[in-house]
Amino acid sequence: MKIIVCGAGSVGRSIVSYLIKGNNDIIVIDNNQKALDDLAQEFDILPVLGSASHPEVLEKADAAKARLLIAATNVDEVNMVACQVAHSVFNVPRKIARIDAQDFLEPLWATLYNEKSLPIDLIISPEIEIGKYIYHMLKIPGASEVLPLFDGKMQLLGFKMPEESPLIKVPLLNLGQVSEDINVEVVCVNRRGNIFIPYRNDMLEAGDEVFLLTPDDKVEETIAAFGIERPAVERVIIFGGNKISRYMGKLFEKDDNIISCKIIEEDLQAARNLAKDLNNTVVIHGPLMSDKILSEAGIGNTDAAIAVTMQDNDNLLATMLAGKSGVNTTVALVNSPSYNNLIGLIGNSILVDRTSVTISGILQELRKADVKNAYSLGRGLGEIWEMEISDGSPIAGKTVRAADFPASSKICACLRNEEISYLGETDVLQAGDKVIIYVDSAAIRKVEKIIS
C-alpha cells in the first residue's frame, strides 16, 4: 500500500517506524531537509522536500496513487489543508490528521470533519494520547500497561513478575487454586526477549513481563494476587514541560486523589507558558537533574516521577535518579526502539514507547480486518484486536481450533450476551460474539486473511 506521511518529526518518525514493517511504500514529506535525510538513513522511504499542504508537493509525492495520507506535522492547520488537498485534488481514499489544539478537538466542532467541510477520516493527538495513557497506568500502581477492552468491562494489564510473587512456579491452570479471587487469562509472556503464548501447564518466572486479561471488577484482586501492588499515587513530579505534561497536569488537577503535581522545565519561556495554562500545578524552572532543583521539587517525598522530554537519555537518567531517591513508580517516555534492549537494566522503571501509543490510534485504518479497537502491545510485542464476529465471518460457527490461527496468535476472550468468558479450543465462535485477539507481529497478515 502506498502511504504518504506528512512530517518527519518525532510523531512522523514513530508512524514510519511501524509502517515500514509491513508491505508498504512510504513517502515522507517535510520542509526540513536534515529531518528527511536522517529519516531516510534509518528507513527505506522516499523523501520529498516541501510543504505538505501545497498541491505541487503532494503531486511530487505521487498522491494520486496513494491509498492513505497521514498528516502528522506539528502545525494543525497544515495537516488540515493537506487532507483537504489530498481529497479534493488527488482523491486519496483515507486521510488521517494530527490535531493537537484543544479548540479544534472540542465536541462542539466535530461537524467540521466530513467530506463537505474538512475531509478528515480520523483525528489523532499523539501527545494527548501519551498523557492519557500514562495517567490511566498510574491509576493502577504496579502495572506497566493498562488497556481498556469490551467498553471497559475488561482490562489488559502488563507488569514485570516480582521475585516475591506467590504465583511464581505455579502452573497457569492452578492459579485459581492459589488465589481464589483472581480470574485471568495470560495473553503472552516476554521472557528475556523471547515472546511466547504460554500453555496451561507453563509457569511464570521472576522477571517475566506478563500481559493478561482480567474483568474490570477483578483488577485490584489480580494486582494483589500477583504481588505487584504499590502505594497509591498522590504526589507527582513530571520532567519536561511540553504538550504531554500540560495535558497530564490538567488531568491531575481534576483528580481528587492527587495531592500535588510539579513540573520541572529547563526552558524559561516554556516554563512560563505552562504556569499560565495550569492553575494548581507547581512549575519549576531549572536543570532537570540538578540536586538543588530535585530537592526543591521534593523528590524524596514523591510517589511517581514521569519523564517526557524529547531526549531519551534525559528521560531514562531522570527516572533512574528518581528511583534512587526512593520514588516508587518511575515512567520514562522513549522515542527510539533501541532502548528496549535496556529493559532488564532499568530496574522497576516503566518504559512507554512513543511509537506504540501513537500507532495504536491509527491501527484500525491499517488493518484489513474489521477491527473495532486495536492496540500495539508493549514495545512492538504484538497487537491486541477487539472485533465482533459478523454473520458472514469465515470463523462464525467454527470451533477455536478449527479457526486455525497461527501458533503465535490466539483468541483470548469472548463477550457473549454481556457475559465474559475465556475460550478453549473446542468452544464454538458465534455471530455476534465480541472477541479479543492477540496477534504476533509476524502473523498479522495471516490472521487478517483468516478473519476477513
pLDDT digits (tens, 9 = 90+) for 360-416: 888 877 776 778 888 988 767 899 999 999 998 999 999 999 999 999 999 999 999
Residues 246 and 354 placed together within one structural domain of the fold: yes
Residue 151's pLDDT is 93
Residues 271 and 300 placed together within one structural domain of the fold: yes
Domain final residue, candidates 168, 198, 226: 226
Q: State the DSSP H helix or E strand holding residue 13, giving kind and residue range, or none if neither.
A: helix 10-19
Q: Which of 382, 340, 446 is nearest to 189 (CA)?
A: 382
Cα distance between residue 250 and residue 262, in whole Å: 12
Cα distance between residue 166 and residue 179, in whole Å: 9
Q: What are the CB-based long-range contacts (under 8 Å, 24+) for 268-275? A: 270/241, 270/242, 271/241, 273/241, 274/241, 274/245, 274/246, 274/249
Residues 248 and 221 placed together within one structural domain of the fold: no
In b/e form, how buried is each residue of 124-151, taking b as 16+ CB within 10 angstroms? Answer: bbbbbbbbbbbbbbbebbbbbbbbebbe
Cα distance between residue 375 and residue 383, in whole Å: 6
Question: Has residue 376 been placed in a domain?
Answer: no
**Cα R_g (the chain), whole angstroms:** 23
The angle formed by the CA atoms of residues 218, 220 and 223, to the nearest 5 degrees, is 105
Residue 221: CB partners within 8 Å, gap ≥ 6? 179, 181, 182
Question: Has residue 300 been placed in a domain?
Answer: yes
Cα distance between residue 257 and residue 417, in whole Å: 35
Residues in the chain: 452
369 close to 340: Cβ distance less than 8 angstroms: no
Classify residue 407 as exposed, middle or buried by CB count within 10 Å of its CB (0-12, 13-18, 19+).
Answer: exposed
The tally of domains found in the chain comes to: 4
At 248, is the secondary structure helix, strand, or coil? helix
Question: Has residue 382 been placed in a domain?
Answer: no
304 close to 140: Cβ distance less than 8 angstroms: no
Residues 333 and 409 placed together within one structural domain of the fold: no
- Measured over the CA atoms of residue 78, residue 84, residue 86 and residue 89, the dihedral's sign is negative
Q: Order of strands across the sheet with 434-439?
A: 373-376, 383-388, 434-439, 410-416, 419-421
Residues 27 and 112 placed together within one structural domain of the fold: yes
pLDDT digits (tens, 9 = 90+) for 344-373: 555 568 889 888 888 888 887 777 677 888
Half-sphere exposure for 416 (CA within 13 Å, toward CB): 14
Residue 108's pLDDT is 64
Name 211's bridge partners: 158, 188
At 323, is the secondary structure helix, strand, or coil? helix
Residues 217 and 254 placed together within one structural domain of the fold: no
* DSSP code, position 320: H
Give this prediction's pTM.
0.86
Domain final residue, candidates 66, 97, 124: 124
Residue 197: CB partners within 8 Å, gap ≥ 6? 187, 188, 189, 407, 408, 409, 410, 438
Classify residue 290 as exposed, middle or buried by CB count within 10 Å of its CB (0-12, 13-18, 19+).
Answer: middle
Residues 241 and 348 placed together within one structural domain of the fold: yes
Residues 81 and 160 placed together within one structural domain of the fold: no
Residues 209 and 318 placed together within one structural domain of the fold: no
Residues 207 and 281 placed together within one structural domain of the fold: no
Question: Has residue 380 been placed in a domain?
Answer: no
Residues 346 and 296 placed together within one structural domain of the fold: yes
430 close to 389: Cβ distance less than 8 angstroms: yes
Classify residue 210 as exposed, middle or buried by CB count within 10 Å of its CB (0-12, 13-18, 19+).
Answer: buried
Cα distance between residue 256 and residue 250, in whole Å: 12
Q: Which residue, chain included where needed, has cell 517506524?
A: 17
Cα distance between residue 439 and residue 436, in whole Å: 10
Q: State the DSSP H helix or E strand holding residue 97, giving kind and residue range, or none if neither.
A: strand 94-98
The CATH number of residue 105's host domain is 3.40.50.720
Residue 360's pLDDT is 85
Q: List the pLDDT tens digit at each of the 452 positions of the chain.
A: 899 999 999 889 889 988 887 778 999 999 999 999 999 999 999 999 999 999 999 999 999 999 999 999 999 999 999 999 999 999 999 999 999 887 777 766 666 776 667 899 989 998 999 999 999 999 998 898 999 999 999 999 999 999 999 999 999 999 988 888 889 999 999 998 899 999 999 999 999 999 999 999 999 999 999 999 888 999 999 999 999 999 999 999 999 999 999 999 999 999 999 999 999 999 999 999 999 999 999 999 999 999 999 898 999 999 999 999 999 899 999 876 665 555 555 556 888 988 888 888 888 777 767 788 889 887 678 999 999 999 989 999 999 999 999 999 999 999 999 999 999 999 999 999 999 999 998 888 889 889 88
The CATH number of residue 147's host domain is 3.30.70.1450
Which residue range(s) make up the domain with 345? Answer: 235-358
Cα distance between residue 276 and residue 271, in whole Å: 9
Question: Has residue 45 been placed in a domain?
Answer: yes
Question: Has residue 368 been placed in a domain?
Answer: no
Question: Has residue 383 been placed in a domain?
Answer: no
Question: Has residue 115 been placed in a domain?
Answer: yes
Residues 195 and 242 placed together within one structural domain of the fold: no
Domain final residue, candidates 311, 342, 358: 358
